[in-house]
Structure 1
Amino acid sequence: MGAGHDHGASQANGKRLAMALALTSTFLIAEVVAGIAFNSLALLSDAAHMFTDAAALAIALAAIRVGQRKPTEDFTFGYRRFEILAAAFNAILLFGVAIYVLVEGVKRILNPEPVGSVGMFIVAALGLVINLVSMRLLASHKDKSLNVKGAYLEVWADMLGSLGVVVGAVVIKITGWRFVDPIVAIGIGLWVLPRTWILLKDTTRILLEGAPPGMALAGVRKAITETPGVASVHELHLWTTGADKAVCTVHVVLAEGAQGEAVRTAIATRLETDFDLHHVTIQTEVTECGEEGRHA
């Protein structure tokens, strides 16, 4: 049942990503041409960001396709982490674009250039609509997959960028202040950086097999140790294979007279109830005459 649910969710994610990718890619070309034609750094920075959106959506879509492959003898856990790898790549790509925009923005503030504010406004407004539609497509699944969340955050950031460009175009048209264009571009970069950093931290934690956020190893150890029949605990490990799949392995030394199967069942039930851990491997050991434990 769990595998079927995962497969269905992945298919739904794939359809939404494909539609968002089609919209974003189509508009990207127009925005690049318009940015050059109207000499707008804000528009070009938004186009660069939209390019990373398109790349993010394409990679996320590919990651879902690969992630649906069944486990093999070489990859016994399957390919679910490909989605996490894709999310990490997207974060790094977006981080680089944000830095570039900040640098170019400072240069433009020091040397303002003429900007076609009317064309800038029209194109940015169309981009805003495209981003809102894409966000709507991805919103319902963003909390269920880091891969989709990464793509959603990029589209969201680009939406705010388009909104900033729209406002900037209006201000330039009314006041003639050319420096508004690079200021908007810098604002986009500063907004994107911290959110990209958070996504990068989340994906890195999973790739480095860190414990699930909010799940303390000490608490899990305490719960296992308190289980009747447990003498001691060692080799306790917690990690995640994806945004929503936590895994636990542990070696448990049994108290004298304890039954291994009963203890394993009790521990598994406790961990599922208290920590929502559904993937647990428990190895029991017994000691004899103070000698080193043997596996049961």
Structure 2
Amino acid sequence: MDTYQYKYGDRPLEGYTIQRAAGRGGFGEVYYAISDSGRQVALKVIQSYEQIELRGISQCMNLKSPHLVTVFDVKHNDQGKPFVIMEYVSGPSLADLLKEAPGGLGSQKAAFFLREIGKGLSFLHECGIVHRDLKPGNIFYENGYVKIGDYGLTKAISTSHHVSHTITVGTVHYMAPEIGAGRYDRSIDIYAMGVLLYEMLTGQVPFLGSSPAEILMKHMTAAPDLANIEEPFARVIRKALAKDPAERYGSVQEMVEDVFGTEHVRNSVSQFASEELSVVAEHIAQKIRGAQPKDGMGL
């Protein structure tokens, strides 16, 4: 069983009491906590980095969209450790859903998720924010809504440490070729959307390798295998994964519209019952909560 730094009843940050561990990410551990005023929150403990650039994340605080996991605040405890205080989402991540569907989600659910992720990502881009680390573990489903999390955090940490985003922060399977050269405009998020669409349809990412360097090289030189992917998805993925950013879609909305411009996709998604997905999501969420360490109380 995984060992987490904090247990039920701990108060690592003034004003918040840990209820249980909620998972681990690239930046550290996440906990379900209750504030002294009774608000349910997610506390993300930034473990791997001693500093966090507060200015880098301040523009991401309290953005109002049902398609974003709200970032309420960033605070340091008495020992100087940074905590990100976020909206608590009880539903599973897209990574959890994919784990339950090794062969992919199917074209109907993939198109639904693409459209809903696109709403949150378009909102971020309109606010001048590039996500930089879009991946299944940062996308959540709850009560009919798809929410994007961890936006702004990658930039805040990279800026703070003047480090390359390429290996230190982020996931190589979703990285656009130009990231190695330090380019971070919205086209890298569109590239990541192409990878996500491929993974949702097939159950695996387009480029695999035995090391980060090998995977990054494939992002720069290899073409994705689209032989078993139907249209319009194959065409859309090919364009989103173009090596040259100028050849990709100019916006997330343009990419989504290219998929939904096909009548059979529109008809399929219009018949999609989110209640069915909610039942699956709740089953997965309960399974995940049941697997978490239970300290002090059966939560």
- Given the two structures, how large is their TM-score scaled by the length of structure 2? 0.28
| Greater share of residues in helix | 1
Larger radius of gyration: 1
